[in-house]
């Protein structure tokens, strides 16, 4: 049986700092960012009214309200700061569907009464109060705040599911050593190659790989990375990470073993290239990616196909670079994408994010990237696809493309 609940957000602001028309949208964005990355399938959620989310979980008979406490903490900090004059509280109501939807429309006076512990019995079910500092059962008063089954049991189940997912792929993952093709990564300002990126299905394909094949290929390359870096001791290695997988707990658990197996000694040379990134990923998604990858990788790169990527929405100091995968079929489409991607260099400088272009294939595209002073470039016009790793090699721009002699 699926458990359904309503999560109501209440903002009390005696100083008026948060009393503005944009508050419902801001609350929806902050809370939605957290839910997007944690309340994942098979769980579901949706915004049904201002300050009101409906949550559903088919795995449990009772939710664990403590899991939602971070929403209260994030809202408190982002609306009022650490010492701000304002309070955020959440009310989580679990009941039948009709009551849940009715609770979503509860007015502020009724919410204040419930937050004060005054229950008139209008709603049949459990109501929990959630603040940045604690969780308590309002109805029944002093009742349990545990989930059913407990969070520990759910975590064990999730870990087992991740292990099963990874194990099911092992037969398809190529053992190390692996024959890998490389694209040299060129730093235009210094006219030198600084490393190489592994050639995964997205390069040379008509579109991104589906999620299953993406995971298989990513894990294949991650398993081979250590041997490759031992044989090629100089230069950055850009390793592929699929955006759709890395934002999910089961995906992160599948990536974790091969990444950890590489070892911390290689971290200064390891760069994560997160691909299939949407036009405007949520704050929560990018934060989850950074928190997971940063202990293992010295550089994080976001690879996008939309030249209108909203770099201004990125948090400061969370990634090092954003690269455009140049995918248009016609020359006009590709040159238009290059112009759009470079249309606001100030936004990238303000975020301290380098720009790059992947897939440069002819002289016109290279000339345009040269005019825009694009820091990082790769593609057939930069270096031909090679079975040899391209480390740190000085190479004049006028002599591109580079062709490996091996």
pLDDT, tens digit (0-9, with 9 covering 90-100), for 127-160: 999 999 999 999 998 899 988 876 566 556 555 5
In tens, the pLDDT along 254-280 reads 888 889 989 889 999 999 999 999 999
Nearest to 327 by CA among 246, 225, 206: 206
Q: Quick one: pLDDT band at residue 394, thresholds 50, 70, 90?
A: very high
Task: Provide the angle, in degrees to the nearest 10, between the axes of the packed helices 331-341 and 363-372.
Answer: 10
Q: How far apart are CA 352 and CA 317, in angstroms?
A: 7
pLDDT value of residue 65? 94
The confidence score (pLDDT) of residue 108 equals 82
The rounded percent of the chain whose pLDDT value lies above 90 is: 43
Q: Which residues contact 180 (CB under 8 A, 6 or more apart)?
A: 198, 199, 221, 224, 228, 387
The pTM of the full predicted model, rounded to 2 decimals, is 0.62
- Cβ count within 10 A of residue 231: 9
Question: pLDDT of 324-339, one tens digit each?
Answer: 999 877 899 999 999 9
| Distance (Å, whole) CA 342 – CA 82 | 37
Alpha-carbon gap, residue 120 to 184, rounded angstroms: 68
Q: Are strands 134-139 and 87-94 parallel, antiparallel or unpaired?
A: unpaired
What pLDDT score does 200 carry?
A: 54
Q: What is the pLDDT of residue 81?
A: 76
Phi/psi zone of residue 352: left (φ > 0), alpha (ψ -120 to 50 degrees), beta?
left
What angle do the packed helices 249-262 and 211-231 form, to 10 degrees? 10
User: What topology does CATH give the domain 3-149?
Assistant: Alpha-Beta Plaits (3.30.70)
> Which among 117, 110, 108 is positioned nearest to 137, based on CA atoms?
117
Residues in the chain: 406
pLDDT digits (tens, 9 = 90+) for 79-125: 877 665 678 999 999 998 888 988 988 888 888 888 888 878 888 89
Q: How far apart are CA 44 and CA 126, in angstroms?
A: 19
Residues 251, 243: Cα–Cα separation, whole Å = 10
Local confidence band at 211 (pLDDT 50, 70, 90 cut-offs): low
Choose between 394 and 37: higher pLDDT: 394
pLDDT at position 60 over 80: yes
| Residue 82 pLDDT | 67
User: Which of these ranges, 83-92, 209-218, 373-382, has the smallest mean pLDDT?
Assistant: 209-218
Cα-flanking dihedrals φ and ψ of residue 283, to 5°?
-55, -45
Count of CB atoms within 10 A of residue 279's CB?
A: 12
Q: Examine the pLDDT at 201 and tell me if it is beyond 50.
A: no
For the record, the structure tokens of 239 come out as 């390793």
The whole-number pLDDT of residue 238 equals 93
Two tokens, residue 41 = 């399938």
Distance between CA 53 and CA 63 in Å, rounded? 14
Q: Which of 92, 69, 88 is nearest to 77 (CA)?
A: 88
> Domain coordinates of the chain in residue numbers?
3-149, 174-399
Output 271 or 230, whichever has higher pLDDT. 271
Task: At 344, list the tokens.
Answer: 């606001």
Largest CA distance in the chain: 81
End-to-end CA distance of the chain: 61
Q: Are strands 321-325 and 299-304 parallel, antiparallel or unpaired?
A: parallel
> Binning pLDDT at 50, 70 and 90, where does residue 372 land?
very high
pLDDT value for 212: 53
When pLDDT is averaged across residues 286-290 and rounded to a whole number, the result is 92
230/234 Cα distance (integer angstroms): 9
Give the integer Cα–Cα distance in Å for 73 and 9: 12
Q: For tokens 């079975």, what's the residue?
A: 387
DSSP 31-47: HHHHHHHHS-TT-EEEE
Query: Sorting pLDDT into bands at 50, 70 and 90, what band is 205?
Result: very low
Question: Over the chain, what is the mean pLDDT?
Answer: 84
Structure tokens at 66: 């403590």
Nearest to 377 by CA among 116, 195, 159, 146: 195
CATH classification (class only), 174-399:
alpha beta
Distance of CA 247 to the CA centre of its chain: 5
User: What secondary structure letter does DSSP report for 272?
Assistant: E
Q: How confident is the model at residue 206 (pLDDT cuts 50, 70, 90)?
A: very low
Nearest to 99 by CA among 4, 173, 207, 219: 4
Residues 12-16, mean pLDDT to the nearest whole number: 57
- Between the ranges 160-169, 324-333, 392-401, where is the mean pLDDT highest? 392-401
pLDDT, residue 163, reads 53
Is residue 216 over pLDDT 80? no
Q: What is the mean pLDDT of residues 59-76?
A: 90
Local confidence band at 171 (pLDDT 50, 70, 90 cut-offs): very low
Model pLDDT, residue 175: 46
Q: Judge contact between 249 and 160, C-beta under 8 A.
A: no
Q: What percent of the chain is modeled with pLDDT above 70?
A: 85
Paired tokens of 82: 């650490």
Q: Give dist(CA 394, CA 17) in Å, integer.
A: 55
CA-to-CA distance for 371 and 369, rounded, in angstroms?
Answer: 5
């Amino acid at each position: 049986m699926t458990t359904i609940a309503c999560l109501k957000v209440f903002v009390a602001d005696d100083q008026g700092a948060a009393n503005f028309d944009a508050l419902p949208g801001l609350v929806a964005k902050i809370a939605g960012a957290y839910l997007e990355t944690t309340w994942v399938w098979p769980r579901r959620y949706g915004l049904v009214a201002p300050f009101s989310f409906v949550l559903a979980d088919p795995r449990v008979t009772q939710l664990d309200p403590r899991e939602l406490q971070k929403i209260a903490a994030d809202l408190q900090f982002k609306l009022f700061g650490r010492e701000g004059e304002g309070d955020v509280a959440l009310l989580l109501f679990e009941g039948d569907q009709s009551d849940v939807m009715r609770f979503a429309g509860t007015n502020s006076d009724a919410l204040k009464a419930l937050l004060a512990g005054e229950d008139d019995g209008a709603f049949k079910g459990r109501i929990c109060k959630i603040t940045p500092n604690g969780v308590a059962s309002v109805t029944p008063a002093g009742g349990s705040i545990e989930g059913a089954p407990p969070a520990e049991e759910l975590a064990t189940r999730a870990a087992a599911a991740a292990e099963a997912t990874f194990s099911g792929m092992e037969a398809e993952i190529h053992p190390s050593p692996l024959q890998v093709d490389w694209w040299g990564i060129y730093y235009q300002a210094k006219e030198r190659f600084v490393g190489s990126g592994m050639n995964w299905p997205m390069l040379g394909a008509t579109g991104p790989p589906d999620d299953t094949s993406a995971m298989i290929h990513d894990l294949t390359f991650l398993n081979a990375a250590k041997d490759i870096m031992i044989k090629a001791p100089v230069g950055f290695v850009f390793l592929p990470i699929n955006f759709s997988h890395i934002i999910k707990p089961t995906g992160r658990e599948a990536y974790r073993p091969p990444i950890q197996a590489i070892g911390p000694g290689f971290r200064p040379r390891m760069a994560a290239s997160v691909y299939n990134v949407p036009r405007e990923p949520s704050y929560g998604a990018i934060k989850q990616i950074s928190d997971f990858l940063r202990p293992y990788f010295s550089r994080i790169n976001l690879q996008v196909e939309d030249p209108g990527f909203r770099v201004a929405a990125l948090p400061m100091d969370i990634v090092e670079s954003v690269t455009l995968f140049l995918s248009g079929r016609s020359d006009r489409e590709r040159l238009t994408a290059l112009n759009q991607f470079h249309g606001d260099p100030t936004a990238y400088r303000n975020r301290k994010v380098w720009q790059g272009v992947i897939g440069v294939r002819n002289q016109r595209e290279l000339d345009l990237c040269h005019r825009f002073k694009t820091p990082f470039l790769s593609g057939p016009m930069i270096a031909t696809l090679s079975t040899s790793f391209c480390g740190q090699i000085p190479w004049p721009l006028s002599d591109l493309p580079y062709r490996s002699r091996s």
